[in-house]
Amino acid sequence: MIGYICARSLSHFGLWNNFSPSAIAKLCTKPIVRPHPKISEQTEPESAWTIPLPVRIPEFTDNNNRNDELEDANNQKLGGKGRGKRMKKKVKELLKGFFFNGNLNQKDKMSAKDMYNELMTFVESGELEAEDVPKIAMIQNWISAYARTFKEQATENMVNNIL
């Protein structure tokens, strides 16, 4: 098949299509012209290239000062993950119950503020201590993280059931 062009719509996928020169000519509105590039020969420079050196020589600092700065940076304490107040297991279990209840019935879905108010009723009844109840922002973060892990687990379970 001289003059034909073989192509696929996606590389390494699908069947080859043969395009004839007449089919390609119908697709093109402008005439197809074979390019004739102009090639120039390599030239040699007449003079050597000289690169000027900087007049100013950089000053070298005392290494002891640099080591002191590094030691100060090593001793610096930064707020890392897990340094804050942790939730008690009982509080987590209650929050999971609120979360699952909202998953079963959409009308029973609770916001972080609703969960906080519900936990405060447990404090009033004496089942929880007031200092064990997390802030609303912490509950909101817990909801986001737990929803993400819950969806991942549900997806894995669904994939395992299909296979």
pLDDT digits 0-9 by tens, 47-77: 887 877 777 766 665 555 555 666 666 666 6
Specify the 3-state DSSP secondary structure of 149: helix
* 34 lies in some domain: no
d(CA 139, CA 110): 11
Domain count, the chain: 1
Residue 101 pLDDT: 85
Residue 97's domain comprises 89-162
Q: Which residue has the tokens 């609770």?
A: 110
Residue 116 pLDDT: 94
Element containing residue 7 per DSSP (H, E) = strand 5-7
d(CA 109, CA 105): 7
* 11 lies in some domain: no
* 156 lies in some domain: yes
* 120 lies in some domain: yes
More confident site: 67 or 35:
35
Residue 129 near residue 90 (C-beta atoms within 8 A): no
Residue 38 pLDDT: 84
Positive or negative CA dihedral for 82, 150, 138, 100? negative
